[in-house]
Structure 1
Amino acid sequence: MQNRSLLILFMINLVGLLTDMPMSIDFYYFQSVRFATVDYCTWWTFTLFSFAVIGEFLMAVISIQRHFFIFQAHVFQNRRKRYIFYYLPLILSIIYPILFYIYSIFLVTCDGSQWDFTLPVCGFANCYFLYDAALTLFDYVFNNTVPLAVIFIANVVLIIRVVKQKRHRQQRFVWKKHRRMTIQLVCISSLYLIAWSPVIIDTLILNISPSPSLIQFHMNYVSEFPNLACYGLPWVYAGLLSEFKKWMLKRISPARIAAHTVQPV
């Protein structure tokens, strides 16, 4: 089950990367937004924001669920609890950001003259950023800061719990399994913390003391940091998650694996 949630995170990042990368490459190649229309900028920000926040929420949910997998695996053996504590959080992590940005980006409208076609992602000049301070604050706190805080706290607490359990239990196999699962989660979560922390900090500084040079720096450099999670996630999976690779290969080519399995005579 833990591999299934990691696969969902991987697929969301892959789709988000394939959606955003062509538009970003096109912008940096022509040094401007070639399709300079309101609809294009609206769609670009919607896909970028939605997939980024979905990834954050999924990572936060996976960080919490890993506690159950390590310390209370019996919870997921019950069908009702499995749907409540495993499937439902994953589904909500995908549906909520989409619904939020449908409302914020498509339904909160203005005349469209605010877009800057000389900046990446049209200057991130969505109408709710400019005219709805309460919605912008909610987006910053609940959709970006809270998931990041959950990821950080869940990983720190997990490390502490695993170390304490090692001291009380001297079962080598159990400790080895828990250590491997903890290292996997910490590495994946650290990728999100590294990718999103500069954005959260820089946005906070911009809200306290905005300046043209800082805004330009944010647009050209800091806003690209979240993409590090998308770019780095496949490499982390390939390097650390040997069980995930076996699980993926088994489902991609079960017949091929079965053909190479030695059968007793």
Structure 2
Amino acid sequence: MSISAKEVKELREQTGAGMMDCKKALQDADGDFDKAIEILRKKGQKLSEKRADREANQGLIVTRLSDDGSKASALEINCETDFVARNEDFQNRAEQFLNLAFENEVDSVDELLELEIDGLSVADHLKDMVGKIGEKIKINRVIYTESEGQYISYIHPGNQLGVLVEFEGEIDNEDIGRDIAMQVAAMNPLAVNRDGVDSSVVEQELDIAKEQLLNEGKSEEIAEKAAQGKLRRFYEERVLLEQKFVKDNSKTVKAYLEENGIPLVKSFHRLQLGEES
């Protein structure tokens, strides 16, 4: 049967699929819109299954905060190419999924995939995106968190790295808060303070330092003491509050916060595009 350009355009606006795909779906469905939509959805399902083993290490990190900074969400959505990640529709979808996670206080990918937008689950929306875009699309991570203090968000240009920093109380200078979020982005600390570093990491650092010193001919006693010194330097490099502040190496992050009357950092989340969840 003959399919008009108006019908193709209407189906494209409803589904986001390509013009030729919409035309063929309408022809196969004898002009029935509901059947055409189902045909496009099944195409997306098949393509999604075919591309399941493909690498998807491009994409976006997006974040959202409540007005008072007491609630925060972050989401990582992946695709195969940077070209798709820069597509306006892909970016709008990312924001849509982020808002859904934030509003429903969801902190796991599995939970988010079950939620619905316009009667369709997020999982099915992703399949539709695969059918339209032709690339593997997945949500890799989602975070939802609350605080009695305040969160500050920082997204590095390009949306490939995002940070949420939780402060112990409200802060009256968000520029300073953003400085700390940028510090987390740039210096990739392991933890806020020493207590947050996994004991196995500490033991490994001590063992490596001690073995190196013993190999240099140091005695057991000297190696033990010197290893503790190396561990202190490790903390200065990898613990946020002990790191040198990137904008002023004469002071630590903790000293910078204290001299500006800003509450200390309680926790942080750092999302790097493509990292394992």
TM over 0.5: no
What TM-score results when the alignment is normalised by the length of structure 2? 0.21
More helix, by proportion: 1
Higher RCO, 1 or 2 (CA under 8 Å, sep at least 6)? 1
